[in-house]
Chains A and B, each alone.
Chain A
Amino acid sequence: MKLLVAEDEPKTGTYLQQGLTEAGFNVDRVMTGTDALQHAISEAYDLLILDVMMPGLDGWEVLRMLRAAGKDVPVLFLTARDGVEDRVKGLELGADDYLIKPFAFSELLARVRTLLRRGNGSPTQTTMKIADLEVDLMKRRAVRGGKRIDLTAKEFSLLELLLRRRGEVLPKSLIASQVWDMNFDSDTNVIEVAVRRLRAKIDDDFDLKLIHTARGMGYMMDAPE
């Protein structure tokens, strides 16, 4: 997967490149809008991450010219402003997502993966398996080690989310938004409690733990192959 990061703030740019590279992406970095446009037109990227405020061309200009040139690569905007009109402008121009600075890197990573997956049109699975845990999405049933696990509706949704995005660290805000439709940061520890309860049912009786905590960032489901 090849990404282009256009960010004029050197520190942010470097960290983004490092973080994304370590997450397994192939990352090019440019510092001006003009370079971003040039790269995006001449090379094939899977995703562009554009800062709105850049010297030369701003992010919106780059996007406009890119779309005019017939490139429909997904674009994620990074912006320090969060005025409503900014969002509307970005989305009207065909941006696929935006993040307001300061943002958590785990949040960016989650959004990047969502956008890349959207392009692939992931196949609709009805059953999923990780280690000895089997989940039937149609019947809403989970079985681990041959033993049926009783889950509430929300616990099942949480498990499904973790499973679908196995190997990814999911920020708490993303979990709250996807499972409970809470689309704002709440300063309570509801997610911790929910994950703790799910763990009690999924992991406590087994030596191989599937749900992992990425401290300060979120939760992840994974198992060694």
Chain B
Amino acid sequence: MKHLSLTARMSLMFMSAVIAVLTVAGLSFNMLSQHHFKMLDRQALVEKLESTKHLLNNARGEASLSEELPQLRALLGAHQDLAATILASDDTVLFSDPRAVEVPERFRRANEQNMWEWQNGQHMYRGMTAQISVADQPEPLTALLILDVTNHTHFFDTLQRWFWIGLIISALVSAALGWVVARSGLKPLRQVTRVASGMSARSLQERIPLEPVPQELQQLVLSFNAMLARLEEAFIRLSNFSADIAHELRTPVSNLMTHTEVVLSHKRDITAYEENLYSNLEELKRMSRMIDDMLFLAKADNGLIIPEQARIELADVVYKLFDYYHLLAEERGIELSLTGTGQAQGDRLMLDRALSNLLSNALRYTPAGKTISVLIRQAADSTTFSIENPGDTISSEHLEKLFDRFYRVDPARREGSPSNAGLGLAITRSIIEAHKGRIWCTSAAGLTGFHIELPHSR
């Protein structure tokens, strides 16, 4: 059954159903007919037996008995298949039809009212036996009425033969019908298959139309379309990422090339060469860091970033980061403040890096003289970390995309800030996601906040 096509399965099931129904119907019909014939036979036998009794009861003595016999013959002769034998008590045959057959001894002693059946070679008989008392005779006579029902058997044989032939024909016809029904029923499925097999990376925006598809297949088509949408999204993100990489690397590479060529085009003093090499070194370091960051993100995308599971006091991490960044904050007159404590389960190095990115990001956008506030709250099943800084409000269309790699709110700033490749927030997000946490950004009324929720795992 495993390798049969759906069409073949449905045809087979159709056929089996028809065979089962027909067989039950045929068997019932057969049994009912048999019963009916039996009742008819019994009725005929009982009737004739009563008449025979009547005739013999009228007789007086041996002589009178022989007078009644022609009447008996006339009575029975009307029925073609019926024969009678009348026996004296000493088993001498008083009367016998020429058609009457010799029946075995046991039927002569059979009870009245009981119809017996006897199969003799090709022939089938039904009969009844009665003991009849005759006046002037000391012992009763035995009357045997025998009905030849061989015709009935023939009828049933014919009936059965035709039933089997009919059954086979119906089975074949229903199988063929089943095939046709299955084929036409599965047509939408073949349509789906056709669209699916035509899919390639270039045609990911295609969808399977929902209208002509029957209800049973709609869920399948919906899931399939949803899968296509996800693939398309991932594919677009990947292509954008590649384009971004090319763009982000092209700028420093072309800087390096131009700069080096210009320097080499004339003889210069040693400090000019040195200057060029230093400048190249800075550019190269930036590229190297970008490659590292992109590798980290690529690994995170492939689920290769597996954080350690250590118990981490988030306030300790924040104090350490404050310790590191406070020089920078002081220079720009920015205050750093922390409220609350909370624990998280995770990788110390990665969380250091994630929170450090958020803090350096906040430092970059906070105006002088303002305060960056960090808030840690521990709840029953998670710890929330929020870092808020005053600064320009980010419009809601950008909020979601802030975490995309290379995304910048202001596209013109792309070339501008050399130290910020636009990967910091993407890295922070992949770290938080590797910790099964959630990160989001809010921005309203000149206050921008990044929030992290880390579940207390396992």
Contact = CB atoms under 8 A, between A and B. Distances in A.
Interface string B353-374: 1001000100100000000000
A189 B360 CA distance: 10
20 contacts: A84-B306, A100-B292, A104-B288, A180-B320, A180-B323, A180-B324, A181-B320, A182-B324, A183-B349, A184-B349, A184-B353, A187-B360, A187-B419, A187-B421, A188-B328, A190-B327, A193-B328, A197-B327, A215-B281, A216-B282
A194 B281 CA distance: 22
Interface residues of A, number: 25
Interface in B94-144: none
Nearest to A176: B324
Interface of B: 278, 281-282, 285, 288-289, 291-292, 295, 304, 306, 320, 323-325, 327-328, 331, 349, 352-353, 356, 360, 363, 419-421, 424
Nearest to B305: A84
A82 interface: yes
A102 B291 contact: yes
A84 B295 CA distance: 13
A176 B363 CA distance: 18
Nearest to A83: B304
Contacts of B304: 83-84
Contacts of B424: 187
A144 B98 CA distance: 156
Interface in A58-100: 82-84, 100
A164 interface: no
A144 B353 CA distance: 37
A184 B352 contact: yes
Given A83-B304, A180-B320, A188 B325 contact: yes
Interface in A153-185: 154, 176, 180-185
B356 A102 contact: no
Main secondary structure of the interface of B (DSSP, over half): helix
A16 B331 CA distance: 39
A30 B327 CA distance: 46
A186 interface: yes
B328 A190 contact: yes
A54 interface: no
A216 B356 contact: no
Nearest to A184: B353
Given A186-B356, A186-B360, A154 B323 contact: yes
Given A182-B352, A216-B278, A189 B324 contact: no
A83 B327 CA distance: 35
Given A187-B424, A217-B281, A182 B356 contact: yes
Contacts of B353: 184
B352 A183 contact: yes
Nearest to B289: A185
A187 B327 CA distance: 15
A176 B352 CA distance: 13
A217 B291 CA distance: 18
B363 A188 contact: yes
A187 B325 CA distance: 12
Nearest to A187: B419
A194 B292 CA distance: 25
Given A183-B349, A186-B356, A216-B281, A193 B331 contact: yes
A154 B326 CA distance: 11
B320 to A, nearest CB: 7
Given A183-B349, A188-B360, A104 B324 contact: no
Interface in A202-225: 215-217
Contacts of A104: 285, 288
A125 B289 CA distance: 37
Contacts of B289: 185, 187
Contacts of A187: 289, 360, 419-421, 424
Interface in A122-151: none
B278 to A, nearest CB: 5
Interface-centre pick from A100, A180, A187, A215 (highest chain B CB count, 10 A): A187
A222 B331 CA distance: 27
Q: Can you list the 7 inter-chain pairs with the closest CB atoms, starting with the nearest?
A: A216-B281, A180-B324, A187-B419, A193-B327, A184-B353, A215-B278, A102-B288
Nearest to A102: B288
B107 to A, nearest CB: 97
B425 to A, nearest CB: 12
B295 A82 contact: yes
Nearest to B293: A185
Interface string A16-54: 000000000000000000000000000000000000000
A171 B323 CA distance: 20
B295 to A, nearest CB: 7
Nearest to B330: A193
